[in-house]
Chains A and B, each alone.
Chain A
Amino acid sequence: MKRVLPDNKPTLDYELWKSLTNPMIQYQAVQKSDRKWLSSIDRGFSQSSDLWVKEGRDRSKNDTTKVFDFISLSNLFESWFDELKFNKQDLADRIGQRITMIPGAGTYFEGEENTLLEINWIILGRVIGAAVANIGAAEKWWYQKGNDAHVALQFWSHLKRDVVGHRYDATVHANDFTILAQGIEGDNWKKTGDFYRQNGFDPDSEILRSVGHRASSPFWQENHRPNRYYANPFAINHQKSLFAKFSGVEDPEELSKFHGSLTLGVLGDALKSLRGDNPDRFANFAIKIHGMCAFHIVRTDIIQQKIGLHLFSNLVARKMSRDVGGSNVPDIAKNLKTGFGLAKVLNILADKNHKVIQWNSVEKEIVDKIVDGLK
């Protein structure tokens, strides 16, 4: 049944957003206090929540004006899309220069440089999903802890330890990605892999990702040396960023309860860096995002996919392919059917520290009038 857009014409989302933003902005940002309030009152599955119904929701605790919510990708992503559209060759050249400075990157990306220009939004969605799950679990909003990301953290550390061996100075070396850049011998790979295989994660299955998209793949094998494995140097960089952030936090929780915040923090830093005037900022952004995706090697939790992969890819796909700047939440909630409280998810994603999305509301009356005019 119709909530905002007619069921048989979901593509009116483009005209609706255009009408809301042109000639004058008819939406307003959902303020922090309202986001918190909405998080606290959102109950049940997204499709049955009272907040996302066709009648709209109260604007705030003290204002009963009915509104519909709209979410958009952070406008910081906009500059990335523009750079890709209007300055692609320069971006490729700059990434090319940057990788010459990263040990092992030349070998890892040889012949696959074109993938460096393309962000793997599906994996990034999973990264975000695992992070949101972890943050919500720490708040005791749900039980899913984003274990995928935690196992990934453990695996990378474990792998580096196994490669370096039990040396007195192993920790120092374990932080040095030049070692992994030289390749991992089959025995070390098997040793680490066997432990995780017995616990439900097979790192061999992740090698396949290098076939689809080398830039965001965690591992790669040369065709003629089946017993030698290479780790994506960007992933090792990402690990360094995560731990740098972790060590900079005052009184952090234990890592298993905190990795979601760290991940979104690193993503937020990457997004904010797009605002500066460093000519390499877009190349650096691409490298950071590829590293973040490559680092995420465990993809077993189906439940968190809905809040990460599907929610995020919905926004990305519509923006990239049809320039739809914002989507209404009631229709998303209806289709997503997630058991995670959607207002809580949106609250996390809209946090000012990373601001992956922008969360706005529009008066129901205005939206209905526009939609009626579009039919």
Chain B
Amino acid sequence: MITVIDGHLSNRPAGGSDFTVGDISGVDYDSNLIPWCKGNSVSVDQRTLDPYRQMFQILIGKARHRLTLIDQGDLKNPMLNSGLDFSDLEALYGKAQARGGRRIMAGEFSGKWKKAELLFINLLLGKHIQLYENKDTHAKVIQGDILQQLNLGVHAKDWEAEGDEKWMMKGICSFLAENQKNGAHIRINESFGWETYIRDRWGAPDGIPGVIPGNLTRKHVGTPTMHIPLHFVLAETLARAMGSMQETEWGKNQSKIRRDMADGALDHPLKDRINLNSFYQLFTKHAAAHMADSFFLRHTDDKTSARYELIEIVNSEPKQWDVIFEPEFLRWRTNQRTRDRTGGVQ
């Protein structure tokens, strides 16, 4: 969602790949981002992934609110209320530290807060968020210090340390707690492509007469430029990746099934399908036979999920079917294979 403009990394314009400003076109969601969503979206129960989805929802929601106010010309103080602060986290997760009881020591940090810290670490390392020390001042120095420690692996070393040495006492949640009264918050890094995403997700699509694509001031119906909630898939993907640091990696099994399905389809002479018996057997192989049929219905509820279409094999006796996968899903696997071959360089 970003590109080099005048020698700097900058957001692409909203409006999609057919819309250009100067020489710079909008984002081509179909080639990489939507396939990435189709491949990485998991259907595990929302409770497992909710802490991450909720945080992303707040971060994106507040940035969207801020951009809407700006578009509406409500410039009284567009910086206000534009990020996630300590009180938001308390509302979501309760108190950070336990009072103590039979099974938990006084002062032990709650698991949800630890999950929040892990998510923030990953988001900060990925340049997706910024730390603000008050309502409108980017805490560049503190953010730089924390980043330096993260790059040195201090967080991993001190994660289980005791007392003030514990990472939770000096990390991002701690920053929010210490500067709570000044209005410290975490803000989504809008200039890292997220403004374009928000505008393409909730703003006007290209082609509405008299309206700049991405404008958030008016109601519009129909399909937005980006019709898939990428931020949720990213939250889920980060959650899964971080799961291995704490607990089980949620959705790992489904990822394996999807990879095997896509590989099977790409190996088929028509490059887009597998036999329905093989489809069921893949789920059985990964101890998820009970889930196979619900995958055919998931797309109704979940736009990020891949669509599977059944087609009867002509003249088959007994009757047979193939499962045809949508191109975006297969592109995800092709892109993944290419990345694997090139060692991550594309």
Q: Hey, which chain A residues are within 8 Å of B218, CB to CB? A: 224
- Which residue on chain B has the smallest CB distance to residue A309? B294
Number of residue pairs spanning A and B whose beta carbons lie under 8 angstroms apart: 130
Given known contacts A122-B301, A310-B294, is B221 in contact with A10 (CB within 8 Å)? no
Q: Give the segment of B44-52, B261-269, B330-338 that binds chain A.
A: B44-52
- Which residue on chain A has the smallest CB distance to residue B216? A224
Q: Is the interface of A mostly helix, strand, loop or mixed?
A: helix
Distance A8 CA – B224 CA, assembled complex (angstroms)? 43
**Residues B300 and A120 in contact, CB atoms below 8 Å apart:** yes
Given known contacts A197-B91, A300-B45, A313-B294, is B54 in contact with A208 (CB within 8 Å)? no
Q: Hey, which chain B residues are within 8 Å of A204, CB to CB? A: 54, 57-58, 61
Q: Give the segment of B8-16, B172-180, B285-293 that binds chain A.
A: B285-293
Q: Give the segment of A92-100, A258-266, A314-322 that binds chain B.
A: A314-322
**Residues A205 and B50 in contact, CB atoms below 8 Å apart:** yes
Q: Does B78 contact A (CB under 8 A)?
A: no
Q: Does B246 contact A (CB under 8 A)?
A: no
Q: Hey, which chain B residues are within 8 Å of A216, CB to CB? A: 301
A-B contact pairs, 16 of them (CB 8 A): A11-B276, A11-B277, A11-B280, A15-B318, A112-B221, A123-B301, A202-B50, A223-B203, A223-B220, A224-B68, A226-B64, A314-B290, A316-B293, A317-B296, A317-B297, A318-B293
Q: Hey, which chain B residues are within 8 Å of A208, CB to CB? A: 57, 229, 232
Q: Does B248 contact A (CB under 8 A)?
A: no
- Which residue on chain A has the smallest CB distance to residue B67? A226
Q: Does A299 contact B (CB under 8 A)?
A: yes
Q: Hey, which chain A residues are within 8 Å of B65, CB to CB? A: 226-227
**Residues A222 and B310 in contact, CB atoms below 8 Å apart:** no
Question: In the complex, which residues 55-93 of chain B have their Cβ closer than 8 Å to any Cβ of chain A?
Answer: 57-58, 61, 64-65, 68, 72, 91-92
Distance A208 CA – B58 CA, assembled complex (angstroms)? 13
Residues of A within 8 A of B (CB): 7-12, 14-15, 110-112, 118, 120-123, 125, 194, 197-198, 200, 202, 204-205, 208-209, 211-213, 216, 222-227, 299-300, 302, 305-306, 309-310, 313-314, 316-318, 321-322, 334-337, 374
**Residues B54 and A335 in contact, CB atoms below 8 Å apart:** no
Best-surrounded residue of B218, B221, B224 (most CB of chain A within 10 A): B221
Q: Hey, which chain A residues are within 8 Å of B61, CB to CB? A: 204, 226
Given known contacts A299-B46, A300-B47, is B54 in contact with A205 (CB within 8 Å)? yes
**Residues B294 and A224 in contact, CB atoms below 8 Å apart:** no
Distance A209 CA – B45 CA, assembled complex (angstroms)? 14
Minimal beta-carbon separation of B289 from chain A (angstroms):
4
Q: Is the interface of B mostly helix, strand, loop or mixed?
A: helix
**Residues A310 and B91 in contact, CB atoms below 8 Å apart:** no
**Residues B290 and A9 in contact, CB atoms below 8 Å apart:** no
Distance A227 CA – B300 CA, assembled complex (angstroms)? 27
**Residues B301 and A213 in contact, CB atoms below 8 Å apart:** yes
Minimal beta-carbon separation of A320 from chain B (angstroms):
8
- Which residue on chain B has the smallest CB distance to residue A125? B294
Q: Does B148 contact A (CB under 8 A)?
A: no
* Interface residue count on the B side (C-beta < 8 Å): 52
- Which residue on chain B has the smallest CB distance to residue A315? B293
Partner of A194, one of B91, B222, B298: B91
**Residues B46 and A205 in contact, CB atoms below 8 Å apart:** yes
Given known contacts A12-B318, A317-B297, is B290 in contact with A336 (CB within 8 Å)? yes
Distance A30 CA – B38 CA, assembled complex (angstroms)? 43
Q: Does B219 contact A (CB under 8 A)?
A: yes
- Which residue on chain A has the smallest CB distance to residue B320? A11
CB-based closest 10 A-B pairs: A111-B221, A335-B289, A317-B293, A313-B294, A300-B47, A15-B318, A317-B296, A223-B202, A314-B293, A321-B310
Partner of A212, one of B53, B300, B318, B321: B300
- Which residue on chain A has the smallest CB distance to residue B94? A198
**Residues A306 and B290 in contact, CB atoms below 8 Å apart:** yes
- Which residue on chain A has the smallest CB distance to residue B43? A122
Q: Does B255 contact A (CB under 8 A)?
A: no
Given known contacts A226-B68, A336-B290, is B46 in contact with A122 (CB within 8 Å)? no
Q: Does B302 contact A (CB under 8 A)?
A: yes
Besides A8-B281, A310-B291, A317-B293, 11 more A-B contacts (Cβ < 8 Å) are A7-B281, A11-B318, A111-B222, A202-B92, A204-B61, A205-B50, A212-B301, A224-B217, A300-B45, A302-B45, A309-B294
**Residues A299 and B45 in contact, CB atoms below 8 Å apart:** yes
**Residues A197 and B294 in contact, CB atoms below 8 Å apart:** no
Given known contacts A226-B64, A227-B65, A321-B310, is B290 in contact with A337 (CB within 8 Å)? yes
Question: In the complex, which residues 147-174 of chain B have their Cβ closer than 8 Å to any Cβ of chain A?
Answer: none
Distance A212 CA – B72 CA, assembled complex (angstroms)? 28
Given known contacts A205-B57, A335-B289, A336-B290, is B310 in contact with A14 (CB within 8 Å)? no
Q: Hey, which chain B residues are within 8 Å of A227, CB to CB? A: 65
Distance A213 CA – B112 CA, assembled complex (angstroms)? 30
Q: Hey, which chain A residues are within 8 Å of B296, CB to CB? A: 313, 317, 321
Partner of A223, one of B50, B54, B219, B301: B219
**Residues A205 and B53 in contact, CB atoms below 8 Å apart:** yes
Q: Does B31 contact A (CB under 8 A)?
A: no
Minimal beta-carbon separation of B8 from chain A (angstroms):
30
Distance A310 CA – B92 CA, assembled complex (angstroms)? 30
Q: Does B319 contact A (CB under 8 A)?
A: yes
**Residues B47 and A302 in contact, CB atoms below 8 Å apart:** yes
Q: Hey, which chain B residues are within 8 Å of A223, CB to CB? A: 202-203, 216, 219-220, 224
Distance A302 CA – B45 CA, assembled complex (angstroms)? 6
Distance A12 CA – B321 CA, assembled complex (angstroms)? 11
- Fill in one digit per residue for B213-234: 1 if any A CB lies within 8 Å of its CB, else 0: 0001111111010010100100
Partner of A310, one of B72, B203, B224, B293: B293
Partner of B92, one of A197, A306, A314: A197
